[in-house]
Amino acid sequence: MFEMFFPDKYVASTYVIDFEQLYKEGVRGLIFDIDNTLVPHGAPADKRALALFARLKELGFQCCLISNNQEPRVKMFNQEIQVDYVYNAHKPSIKNYVKAMEIMGTDRSNSLFIGDQLFTDVWGAKRAGIPNILVKPIHPKEEIQIVLKRYLERIVLHFYKKKRVEKSGNLL
């Protein structure tokens, strides 16, 4: 019933993902949400984010930020990171996931999406046919509309975890 919202993978943080392994597996384009995926909501890029994107570029990844925020927010975050971005993306609409791949010169077979929300980030990536990783939100302080969605996400994640345990005996 909830499987259309299940992430392909669920990890504690963007910063624990084995990007070297992803590159070995053929991933060449990384699409990221910003708020609560890379930094707390509304925060500028921090040292961790700057180091991550420097490492990703060094590995050879193309990167694109895709955010439902307006351009001033996305531009401010991207000021020092300097990757491509799509703002006002209307996730979960697939249009801008496709646009991000076009910008990076990648396709569904070698792109990956990373975000913190099931009903916008993950569902949009799944609808666009892009493999995805759900990360736990960085910070609990969020806008009210996101807080309400988090309650529903907990229900979906309960069933996701239950299914993962049934399949492998392993929670994550």
What pLDDT shows up at residue 160?
A: 74
Q: Is the peptide bond before 44 cis (omega within 30 degrees of 0)?
A: no
Q: How confident is the model at residue 2 (pLDDT cuts 50, 70, 90)?
A: confident
Which of helix, strand or coil describes residue 85? strand
Predicted local distance difference test score (pLDDT) of residue 5: 83
pLDDT single digits (tens) 17-76? 999 999 999 999 999 999 999 999 899 999 999 999 999 999 999 999 999 999 999 999
Q: What is the pLDDT of residues 140-156, one digit of tens each?
A: 665 656 666 766 777 67
Average pLDDT over residues 120-144: 87
Q: What's the pTM value of the predicted model, to 2 decimals?
A: 0.85
Residue that is written with structure tokens 């791949």 in the block = 101
Specify the pLDDT at position 150.
Answer: 65
